[in-house]
A and B are shown apart, each in its own frame.
Chain A
């Protein structure tokens, strides 16, 4: 039969956690993590995927465990030198990487394509081996894909800023976007540490976690705005704390469902999607905590004077 009443409850009713007291600890932790991520971004830097780096990647499945020497010999017989031959997924799966000629050379595209064919021929000489996937991205295309990816990221951030600005006061918009940028740096740091390849799919993952993070902030801000109207004299710090506590159950509930939806993908999604899903999971945790520990304190610092200047309603309807 239908379970009428909820069996479990996330947060006890009417929590009164004083989040704003720890605002400087939250901001400091975030700053440290973001600075560390920035350092990681410059050194050692992101592992660029095929989309952005250009080059050739061939995945092959051999009969029985992969014999790397035999593969290298077969490649040498076709006059190609692999930049890397490594195992991948199972023991009989191999990943072969080749660097393509730079786009300053006149016939670099044609040579890139000829190299893919040579690798296919080399795999063909190994008994029982088959090519699972062969991708070749020329140097000029990879630059273009990178430019378009960054453009999508930048414009999305601007649109989010514009929307929040339109719907809320500017203090809300600025603190949301500053928080999003901090979230973004942490996601980049995560990518550097985990060595997940940064490619178009990762740009999609990052945009999704930014979208999710924004969504989370909008819910908290919505409540702050409502309470600003309701409690005209309450100090802003108390008011923000109240708003976070009131929305805490929802915040944790939604993060859990998105987390649960993405978890199977991280565990069983296969090579091409598990990286994406892990970044999502990381982003959900970061995005949820940044609403409470970063976006809210920033709003408090920026809005302390303005939003509570006098008794008149400080927020547009």
Chain B
């Protein structure tokens, strides 16, 4: 208790010096590129910026697959000259009634040969009432949902990178959510609009025969035009998919002088595009974006070059954004913004100032208190307190943690609580002195008796804040993190550093009475 070996002292001082070195990146610039240089990041509430919480529309992911499965089923049956009645989607698949009971076996055979996106994705069975049911497996649905979020994150990243945002942070949260943090962007409206567009582009033939009919025939859908005023019947079958695009750019059309979006297909897309246009010269071809018809020009000649142009009466910004969206690719499902928090730069600066002053003032008050009420041992506690602040900063830097306003409050409270351990030790020493113990005995008893209490009281606080970190969200986690780190550094600085200072002082001076 009252003896510190040279090695032990060296390691305590060493830890403090390493801590000091780790704090440096926060105050000076990196001298050499090869040096690891980790620093604390300022949270959005301190530097200004936007936080968006996006939710992937999982219903749409499921509905899309069901829709596709229905379409594939229809195509497969037609190709094999099999008939069907009542082809509908259910919650987990597709069902239909065979034309005749005898066709059930050929139906099963043909449908079981359909390509799957994953092994065991669906099963094809005949039900007791003679219907045929194609059922998607739950496992495949889960995997599809997971992939949809992964893919969405990739697309979101590409779209945000294209806007030139600096240091965007895009992270997955929970099963179906994505967090987007945009430092420095205090008005997220454009980003929100870009992310709120699925940008799924498809090309469909127009079902001219169905124009004017109230109920579209099977395999035909009524889609609204982008002007929102009229609708157009198009075949549900996707002739060419915008996913096969390789490039898109905005430019002014030479002839009309209007803004247009030019696009180029890859080889698959170019081939499909060529075939469809060759076979349907004279018919109308609808360009559909997110289930709205942008335009439906008449095919004059086969387009074999693999490139085309959309003119939809765009403004410059609309054309640029649409080209950006087509280049970045379509989202697998719509994204909804469900939470938005944005902070302007001036408010962030105000917060840093307010937090910084409070931290400084609190620190000074605690130091003055300890000096006045505990004298020499109080100053030792103050040295430990300073080391505590350094070590907290060092660990936060090492983790490259994000400092938020509640995080600053957490640091301040840690400093207030940190001296508790020193107070416990000092009070105990006082008591032992009052009982007539010698200086050495009193100090020894003070350390020994107080240690259990210190560990107990810090363990409960640690438990509460770890829970807060696990279950908390957003800024509260920053608060819990700083306090949790603070408790660990407090245990080190009080149980090792300030005690070492006291022991060294005793060994140096051998006092007969203690300054308590």
B424 interface residue per 8 A CB criterion: yes
State A2–B471 Cα separation when bound (angstroms).
46
Q: Is the CB of A270 within 8 A of B354?
A: yes
Contact between chains at A222 and B452 (CB < 8 Å):
yes
Tell me the nearest residue of chain B to A110, going by C-beta.
B336
CA distance A156 to B420 in the complex (A): 22
Bits for B474-491, please: 1 = Cβ < 8 Å to A, else 0.
111001100100000000
Q: How far apart sit A14 and B467, CA to CA, in the bound complex (Å)?
A: 39
A138 and B471 contact, Cβ closer than 8 Å, known pairs A5-B515, A159-B463: no
Q: How far is the CA of A265 from the CA of B474 in the complex (A)?
A: 21
A156–B467 touching, CB < 8 Å: yes
Q: Could you tell me if B347 and A2 are in contact, using CB atoms closer than 8 angstroms? A: no
B374 on interface, CB distance cutoff 8 Å: yes
- Stretch from A189-197, A203-211, A231-239 that touches the partner: A203-211
Is there a chain A Cβ closer than 8 Å to B141's Cβ?
A: no
Q: Using A7-B372, A257-B369 as known contacts, say yes or no to A264 and B362 having CB atoms under 8 A apart.
A: yes
Residues of A near B316 (CB, < 8 A) are: none
Query: Contact mask B417-442 → A, CB, 8 Å, 1/0?
Result: 10110011001001100100000000
Cα–Cα, bound, A5→B413 (Å): 27
B369-A207 in contact (CB<8A): no
Determine how close the nearest CB of chain B comes to the CB of A205; give it in whole angstroms.
Answer: 9
**Chain A residue total in the interface (Cβ 8 A):** 82
Q: Are B453 and A8 in contact (CB under 8 A)?
A: no
Chain B binding site: helix, strand, loop or mixed by DSSP?
helix
Contact with B along A261-280 (1 / 0, CB 8 A): 11111011110110011001
Contact B362 A265 (CB under 8 A): yes
Q: Which residues of A have CB within 8 Å of B45?
A: 272
- List residues 371-399 of chain B with CB under 8 A from any CB of chain A: 371-376, 378-379
Q: Is A9 an interface residue (CB 8 A)?
A: yes
Q: Which of B204-239 contact A (CB under 8 A)?
A: none
Name the residue on B nearest A260 (C-beta).
B365
> Inside 8 A of B472's CB, which chain A residues have their CB?
148-149, 152, 200, 203-204
Query: What are the residues of chain B within 8 A of A109 when measuring CB–CB?
Result: 55, 336-338
Nearest A residue (CB) for B187: A120
Taking the complex as formed, is B344 at the interface, i.e. its CB lies under 8 A from any CB of chain A?
yes
Q: In whole angstroms, how far apart are the Cα atoms of A256 and B374 in the complex? A: 13
B340 touches A (CB below 8 Å): yes
B171 interface contact, C-beta 8 A: no
Point out the residue from A4, A14, A207, A264 that lies within 8 Å of B365, measured CB to CB: A264
Q: State which of A67-75, A78-86, A129-137, A308-316 sits at the interface with chain B.
A: A129-137
Give the distance in Å from the alpha carbon of A163 to the alpha carbon of B461 in the complex.
11
For A141, give its contact among B339, B347, B516 (CB under 8 Å): B339
**A208–B374 CB distance below 8 A:** no
Complex: A159 Cα to B358 Cα, angstroms: 32
Closest partner residue, chain A, to B377 (CB atom)? A6
Known: A7-B373, A133-B344. 12 other contacts (CB 8 A): A2-B379, A61-B346, A109-B337, A113-B340, A131-B187, A136-B341, A156-B468, A160-B464, A204-B476, A260-B362, A261-B415, A263-B365
Q: Mark B residues whose CB is within 8 Å of A.
A: 45, 53, 55, 186-187, 189, 192, 196, 336-344, 346-347, 350-351, 354-355, 357-358, 361-363, 365-366, 369-376, 378-379, 405-406, 409, 412-413, 415-417, 419-420, 423-424, 427, 430-431, 434, 449, 452-453, 456-461, 463-465, 467-468, 470-476, 479-480, 483, 515-516
Can you list 11 A-B pairs, Cβ within 8 angstroms, ordered by A?
A134-B342, A141-B338, A200-B476, A208-B465, A253-B373, A254-B423, A260-B369, A262-B412, A268-B358, A272-B45, A272-B405
Nearest 9 A-B pairs (CB), nearest first?
A: A261-B416, A264-B361, A152-B471, A270-B354, A258-B416, A260-B365, A6-B375, A211-B464, A215-B457
